[in-house]
Structure 1
């Protein structure tokens, strides 16, 4: 039986560990926290698993919360513009695109703790230890393959930054998350659960999405602020109550249509806020340990995209699925450097589109044709649906989203077809 070590117990590490277990591998998983510490700890992220990524979980029988988490069926987009005389912003664009399948969001405290318990219950070897490079160096010789599934700490430094794939050298957004109960119903589409993307040009974005958390059905309020701009109000890491108060104050001015639903919200728990920032980057997938052993980077250890397009957990799930298939296909042959690079290349076929789209959406000023596409989606339902579908499969954006002529041709084709108006 082949022995595999995975350092990191997030979306990719746990999904891969459970998948390898399913296929009969001897798996050791290193987690820096117990399941109870994860469950009772601070929220770790926002996440919405779109249909393809969700399918990877369900294929392994890991959709434990499918019956309880809200069924997300659309992606809504609003674009804010300044109101008169410096007053609250108003919506210049507002539409809802339909997804081709169901998406769902589950608080990672709930998901990761549940998956960690499942891994242990199924006989997996669990080491509760914050892995260091020295640990992997000492252990690597005892395993056929070592994977690093964490993009934080010294393990991430094993992988050299790829300048060609990493156009940004500093964080492009400051992130501020609140999980809340009590958000009122949405008047625009009361019967359709959706991720809502509210763009405030030049300042950042507000995302609102339904989720399942440790205390039941909830919603996430998530500001992505251009650093040092008017939405960047959480640099001092305020306490939970002040964090929520600032979130709502910004909503009242920059997204009053969302604030109108939020006048009675309260935090789901004392650990329901998070603020921070990080630099998006693509890294070399193969790391070398001090003794010369090789490790393969997984998900955001080697491809860390900003959350502005909501792709982090989705990319992690897709990476874990691609690596699982590559490992199983490889049989008993050695997991050498050539295999590692080929395994990553198989993932990069799709991941490169996610990175390209995310980096484009981080641009300080969006090109005029992007705004024209968003305007046109308000007139053409098929375009709204196509943009929504891109959150599941970002590869489609390459055909029309980045180039002004391609965008114009896309909108013109809709007009010739007589749709909308």
Structure 2
């Protein structure tokens, strides 16, 4: 029986650990917190998982909360008219809703990670509650057939060198501020449709609103992404959760008043329902070398960390776990050497490269052809739907998003079909 150590109990680490466990591997999982500490702690992220990522969970029968979580059927885009907020609340220049082919869901990671961790232990997995240092891994690499590092923060990440060619940004591109709330009203235009709302405020940043399931039931996430140094970059000194929410709403009233109108009665889900921070999007070398010569393989955002502007973090983590799981099982009893590690990562990068390209494009000011595409989607429903479904399969953006000529040809084709 092959022995595998997974360090880090997030989406990817737990999905791999539970997947390997179901295949009969001897798995040890290291977490720096207990399930109870996770469940009662601070929110860790925003997350909205689309069809393909959700299917990976279903394949492993880990979709424990699927019937309880809101079923997100659409993805809406609103754009504030540039400069319209100078004299008062902003006005909307664009507003549309794309329909998803398969529904998306968001489950607070405090709920999911705590539940999955307890399941892993109940099924006989060895759960070690301990933060791991490089020195620990040096020892473990000699006692396990494979060590996977899925802890995306802290000292361990430093083992994996930055891949400059694949990492165009060296500084954070957005200041992030999250609030989990109860009491958000429906959008009056589509009162019966659960949808993620992407609100773009040119030159200022973005507000995302997404329905979720949290520890206290159904809720919504209000998520500001502010351009550093701009008016939304205002949360770094804010420690009090009530003050954090108050500032979130104040900024909504000015820059996205159509969202603020349904948020006048919101309250935080719990004292741990806020989060603020920033990080530079980075792709790293997937193999970490230990002082004693051992090798470890980086997982998910340890090796590919994108800005959350495209909502891909938990989706990528799920897809990475699925790819690595297949690579491990297919490898049988052969050694997990450097060549295998590189091939396992390359298999994941086939998917991840499209996420990275799209996310980095969305962080930059949009070129004219993208503005035309987003504007046209308000008149051409198939364009709105295709853009929305790109969140599930970012590879499709190659066909109509980056190249002005492809975008123009696609819109001309749709307009012609509409006219016909």
TM bracket (short chain): over 0.9
Q: Which runs of 4+ in 1 moved over 4 A?
A: none
- In the alignment, what sits opposite 1:300? 301
- In the alignment, what sits opposite 1:374? 374
Shift of 1:292: 0.5
* Distance in 1 of aligned mates of 2:334 and 2:121: 28
- In the alignment, what sits opposite 2:278? 277
- In the alignment, what sits opposite 1:86? 87
Does the 8 Å CA contact 2:78/2:198 hold for their aligned counterparts?
yes
- In the alignment, what sits opposite 1:288? 289
- In the alignment, what sits opposite 1:264? 265
* Distance in 1 of aligned mates of 2:309 and 2:85: 28
* Distance in 1 of aligned mates of 2:74 and 2:261: 21
Does the 8 Å CA contact 2:85/2:254 hold for their aligned counterparts?
no
- In the alignment, what sits opposite 2:143? 142
- In the alignment, what sits opposite 1:3? 3
Shift of 1:238: 3.0
The one-character-per-residue Cα deviations of 1:144-200 (angstroms, maximum 9, x if unpaired) are 000000221111011110001000000000000000000012111111101000000
Q: Secondary structure at the match of 1:69?
A: coil
Answer yes or no: is 1:404 the counterpart of 2:404: yes
* Distance in 1 of aligned mates of 2:181 and 2:294: 46
Q: Secondary structure at the match of 1:42?
A: coil
Answer yes or no: is 1:333 the counterpart of 2:334: yes
Answer yes or no: is 1:167 the counterpart of 2:168: yes
Shift of 1:237: 3.0
Shift of 1:416: 1.3
Does the 8 Å CA contact 1:380/1:419 hold for their aligned counterparts?
no
Q: How many residues align?
A: 419
* Distance in 2 of aligned mates of 1:22 and 1:202: 48
* Distance in 2 of aligned mates of 1:72 and 1:338: 40
Does the 8 Å CA contact 1:176/1:276 hold for their aligned counterparts?
yes
- In the alignment, what sits opposite 2:14? 14
> TM-score when scaled to structure 2?
0.99
Q: Secondary structure at the match of 2:379?
A: coil
Does the 8 Å CA contact 1:17/1:29 hold for their aligned counterparts?
yes
Shift of 1:83: 2.7
Q: Secondary structure at the match of 1:417?
A: helix
* Distance in 2 of aligned mates of 1:324 and 1:419: 48
Q: Cα RMSD over matched residues?
A: 1.0
Gaps in structure 1 of 5+ consecutive residues: none
* Distance in 2 of aligned mates of 1:84 and 1:231: 13
Shift of 1:368: 1.0
* Distance in 1 of aligned mates of 2:95 and 2:317: 30
Q: Secondary structure at the match of 1:18?
A: helix
Answer yes or no: is 1:216 the counterpart of 2:207: no
> TM-score when scaled to structure 1?
0.98
